[in-house]
Amino acid sequence: MKRIAFALAGLAIPAAVWMASVPAGAAPTPPPARVDVPATPHLQAAVLAGGCFWGMEGVFEHVKGVRSVTSGYAGGKGSDANYEQVSNETTGHAESVRIVFDPKQVTYGQLLRIFFAEHDPTEVNRQGPDEGTSYRSAIFPQDPAQRRAAQAYIAQLGGAHVFPRPIATRIENGGFFPAEAYHQGFLRRNPDHPYIRMWDAPKLADLKHRFPEMWKA
């Protein structure tokens, strides 16, 4: 993913082109989750993998109730949780985000709904231009309640045939390891980066269009 991004660094991509690459509302809008995680008086955390963590981090930074989002790696060992090794596609890690949120403002089920709306959960080991197991669609539940909610939501979406192909999203175990500092807030800090403009800015436009009640500037 980043190899493609840096290779494109000298290109100027017209706004009309990158906004047309992922039209708002082009993908199905998942329904609300029927099974959710009860609110607690304290903050909760979710770990999700949906392709390049730059875009996933940028999306969830704009969701009401989200306190922080950290890009990182999940599914492998801490000893090889670094970009150089993960990019070799041999570590078992997925590019992921850890979302800290206030469950009184946004629920785990609502985060899952946005997650399934803003990436393609039917792709196997790829998203957009990025290919490899590190770009797989995966959920890393942080407790049994999240696992039940995730399993139920995938079954709900599959039973309703929301997507034209089978859902490939995996429910996995494993710790979360923050990525290098230069990856954190990449979309926010580099809005004109060609990769961001082509693949991630349309996700923000789609989030604002599809879930205006959840959007925060």
List the chain domain ranges.
28-190+206-214
Alpha helices in the chain (DSSP H): 2-7, 15-21, 53-61, 83-86, 108-117, 144-159, 186-189, 194-195, 201-210
Q: Give per-residue pLDDT as tens, 144-184.
A: 999 999 999 999 999 999 999 999 999 999 999 999 999 99
Q: Reduced to 3 states, what is the DSSP secondary structure of residue 184?
A: coil
pLDDT value at position 157?
98
Look up the CATH number of domain 28-190+206-214.
3.30.1060.10
Position 26 scores a pLDDT of 55
SS3 label, residue 138: strand
Q: Catalytic: 171? A: no
- Write the pLDDT tens digit of every residue in 52-108: 999 999 999 999 999 999 999 999 999 999 999 999 999 999 999 999 999 999 999
Which region holds residue 127: left if phi is over 0, alpha if psi is between -120 and 50, else beta?
beta
Identify the residue whose tokens are 């730059």: 54
List, in order, residues 6 or more apart from 100 with CB less than 8 Å away.
43, 44, 45, 66, 67, 68, 69
Local structure of residue 197 (DSSP, 8 states): I
pLDDT value at residue 27: 78
**pLDDT of 51 strictly over 90:** yes
Q: Are 101 and 54 in contact (CB under 8 A)?
A: no
Catalytic residue among 52, 56, 94, 112: 52
